[in-house]
Amino acid sequence: MKTKIAVFVSGGGTNLQALIDAQGKTLVSGEIVLVVSNNPGAYALERAKKAGIDTALVTKRECGSQAAFEAKLKEILASHGIQLIVLAGFMTILSADFTASYPRRILNVHPSLIPSFCGEGFYGLRVHEAALSYGVKVTGATVHFVNEIPDGGEIIAQRAVYIEPGDTPETLQRRVMEQAEWVLLPQAAEQVCAELQK
Ligand code: GAR
């Protein structure tokens, strides 16, 4: 039996797409059975629907509190028998209570080489803006387990990407995705799924 994966998204979902495309190739020990979004406008939801994957929309606004939001998430995960959660551009921080409920069962992809440019407030384009304004010459992506410290869980995999002259946050974001995130995330998901089956 394959490990049942839920992917949590908030935006465009290119990392979700990389996971979908990796199924049956890089990703063989796990299967994406659910995509959860906290944003009704997330294009990632369309990608999931096109791939025939169940979707759920859970918003903090409708739930009224972080605790109610996370209780709803847990209920949906349990009803789908989810064994592994992959955060793929999920732009909200989960509480210590939530992360402790799924020890070493939540992965996140972050668009820098942790411990640089990470933690609260570092997400999406902001990460690349920070890397460019610091003037680093190398950045990359990290896949890590999620614990109670934002971007602080054990690192599973990293890949470096060079900054090029004239890079903007947008060009750098794209190169980090293409050269690092979209390769690393399916590989790391496979590694963890295979481990869970031992
Ligand atoms: C990705 O670059 C991902 O690493 C980043 O948001 C983007 C989502 O793109 N995540 C974070 O910054 C989390 N701290 P996508 O929706 O196209 O996958």
**Geometric angle at alpha carbon 40, from 170 and 182, rounded to 5°:** 40
For residue range 129-177, list pLDDT tens digits in order.
999 999 999 999 999 999 999 999 999 999 999 999 999 999 999 999 9
Nearby residues of 72 by Cβ (< 8 Å), 6 or more positions away: 58, 63
Residue whose Cα lies nearest atom 7 of ligand 1: it is 89
Give me the pLDDT at residue 65, please. Answer: 97
Ligand 1 atom 8: residue of nearest CA: 89
Q: For the CA atoms of the chain, what is the radius of gyration? A: 16
The 10s digit of each residue's pLDDT in 83-130 is 999 999 999 999 999 999 999 999 999 999 999 999 999 999 999 999
Alpha carbon distance 194, 54 (integer Å): 23
Does residue 12 surpass a pLDDT of 90?
A: yes
43-61 mean pLDDT: 98
Q: What is the mean pLDDT of residues 10-37?
A: 98
The number of beta carbons lying within 10 Å of the beta carbon of residue 120 is 9
Mean pLDDT of the chain: 98
What's the CA-to-centroid distance between 146 and ligand 1, angstroms? 15
Q: Domains in the chain, please, with CATH?
A: 3-196 (3.40.50.170)
Asked if residue 153 has its Cβ within 6 Å of ligand 1, the reply is: no
From 36, 109, 179, mutation site for ligand 1 pocket: most ligand atoms within 8 A of C-beta = 109
3-state secondary structure of 39: coil
Atom of ligand 1 nearest to the CA of 111: 4
Which residue among 80, 110, 128, 144 is the active-site one?
110
Ligand 1 atom closest to Cα of 176?
2
Percent of the chain with pLDDT over 70: 100
Ligand 1 binding pocket includes 152 (Cβ within 6 Å):
no
Say whether 110 is catalytic.
Answer: yes
198 falls in which pLDDT band (50, 70, 90)? confident
Cα–Cα distance for residue pair 138/77, rounded to 1 Å: 37
